[in-house]
């Protein structure tokens, strides 16, 4: 029996028992895919990260698993892993860190107690099969409470982005499993991201959001960096100037797991750079005994 050490973190928060929980195995050499998936299922967190042996200076391969599948990219695992590697001395806060994920290299930099990564794939936006009426039916609201047509946006992981007209509508949203199976599942992209302007003046660019996906049934996520990346890209393309822009996104409020995600975007001609930043705190550690 061999013990594989891991850390538990709360990500996109600066205090324990908030944000999005994460497990990270910082030295996962020798674990095969089946074992990683079994461990992620055993821990039953939204994601578990396995860090491989360094391939260069401050450069590590990572693999990200939900309890049922491997993901090419996810935001809170990237931020949490970056904070943990710095805490363990495997990365330095005064120089960049590269995490080699399935979707491509994630370049991370540190600013005081924040970690920030650049999205691995360029933004893609396409039409969503959800129109306003269907989106409203999906989440139990009136069509008038959905602002504009939903779109599918991705910076490595696609989301149906649905804008709502008020915080009240956001708080009342309850996805219908039946409508989900009829409209969302056939699209092949089983993640929806609801958002609304929290600051009506928009000067501070504050947003409130909720994310729902299917993982053993429709479930809610308290903090979703990959969804924020897609949303920031969509908002940036809606603007006429080149930026830079910065948004503060609060998520997880309705779950009692308040999270705060910082998104930045800058356009240079046809090139759009998107960065996601956040805090993380280590809340525990342990070792999992795996039979070799």
What domains lie within the chain, and their CATH numbers?
2-120+279-290 (3.10.310.10), 124-277 (3.10.310.10)
| Residue 9: burial class (beta carbons within 10 Å; 0-12, 13-18, 19+) | buried
Alpha carbon dihedral 275, 45, 50, 101, in 10-degree steps, equals -30
At residue 217 the predicted structure's pLDDT band, cuts being 50, 70 and 90, is confident
The H-or-E segment that residue 66 falls in is none
- Give the C-alpha separation, 32 to 12, whole Å: 29
d(CA 74, CA 112): 22
Higher per-residue pLDDT: 216 or 57: 57
Over the stretch 115-161, which tens digit does the pLDDT of each residue have?
999 998 899 999 999 999 999 999 999 999 999 999 999 999 999 99
Smallest CA-to-CA distance from 129 within 144, 148, 150 is with 150
Angle, vertex CA 186, rays to CA 185 and CA 188, nearest 5: 70
pLDDT per residue as tens digits for the range 155-211: 999 999 999 999 999 999 999 999 999 999 999 999 999 999 986 545 558 999 999
Dump the DSSP string for 144-188: GGEEEEEEEEESSSEEEEEEES-HHHHHH----HHHIIIIIGGGT
Q: What is the mean pLDDT of residues 239-263?
A: 94
Beta strands in 39-177 (DSSP E): 48-51, 59-65, 70-71, 97-101, 104-111, 114-118, 124-127, 146-154, 158-164
Work out the number of other CB atoms within 10 angstroms of the CB of residue 86: 19
Judge whether residue 52 has pLDDT over 90: yes
pLDDT of 68 reads 94
State the residue for tokens 């391969």.
61
- Is the pLDDT reported for residue 260 higher than 90? yes
Rounded distance between C-alpha atoms, residue 271 and residue 251, angstroms: 28
| DSSP string for 250-262 | EE-GGGT--EEEE
Residues annotated as catalytic are: 47
Distance CA 189, CA 193 (A): 12
Give yes or no for a contact between 191 and 130, defined as CB atoms under 8 angstroms apart. Answer: no
In this structure, the chain runs to a length of: 292
Q: Which of 222, 219, 199, 218 lies closest to 209 in space, CA to CA?
A: 222
Q: Which residue has the tokens 């100037």?
A: 241
What is the pLDDT at residue 114?
A: 97
**What's the Cα-to-Cα distance from 239 to each of 151, 235, 267, 274, rounded to whole Å?**
16, 7, 10, 14
- 67-102: pLDDT as tens digits: 999 999 999 999 999 999 999 999 999 999 999 999
Q: What angle do CA 110, 112, 117 make, to 5 degrees?
A: 25
């Amino acid at each position: 029996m061999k013990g594989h050490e891991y850390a538990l973190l709360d990500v996109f928060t600066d205090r324990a028992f908030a944000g999005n929980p994460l497990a990270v195995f910082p030295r996962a050499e020798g674990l095969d895919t089946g074992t990683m998936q079994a461990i992620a299922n055993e821990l039953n967190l939204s994601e578990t990260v396995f860090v491989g042996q360094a391939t260069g200076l401050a450069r590590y391969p990572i693999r990200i698993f939900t309890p049922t599948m491997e993901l090419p990219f996810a935001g809170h695992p990237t931020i949490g892993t970056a904070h943990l590697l710095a805490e363990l001395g495997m990365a330095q806060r005064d120089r960049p860190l590269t995490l080699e994920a399935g979707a491509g290299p994630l370049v991370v930099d540190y600013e005081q107690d924040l970690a920030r990564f650049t999205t691995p794939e360029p933004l893609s936006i396409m039409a969503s099969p959800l129109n306003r009426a269907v989106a409203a039916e999906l989440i139990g609201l009136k069509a008038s409470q959905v602002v504009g047509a939903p779109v599918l946006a991705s910076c490595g992981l696609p989301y149906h982005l649905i804008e709502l007209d008020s915080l009240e509508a956001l708080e009342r949203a309850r996805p219908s499993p039946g409508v989900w199976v009829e409209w969302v599942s056939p699209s092949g992209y089983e993640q929806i991201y609801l958002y609304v302007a929290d600051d009506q003046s928009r000067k501070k660019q504050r947003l409130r959001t909720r994310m729902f996906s299917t993982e053993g049934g429709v479930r809610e996520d308290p903090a979703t960096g990959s969804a924020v990346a897609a949303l920031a890209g969509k908002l940036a393309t809606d603007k006429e100037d080149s930026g830079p822009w910065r948004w503060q996104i609060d998520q997880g409020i309705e779950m009692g797991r308040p999270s705060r995600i910082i998104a930045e975007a800058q356009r240079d001609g046809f090139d759009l750079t998107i960065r996601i930043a956040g805090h993380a705190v280590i809340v525990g550690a342990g070792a999992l005994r795996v039979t070799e």
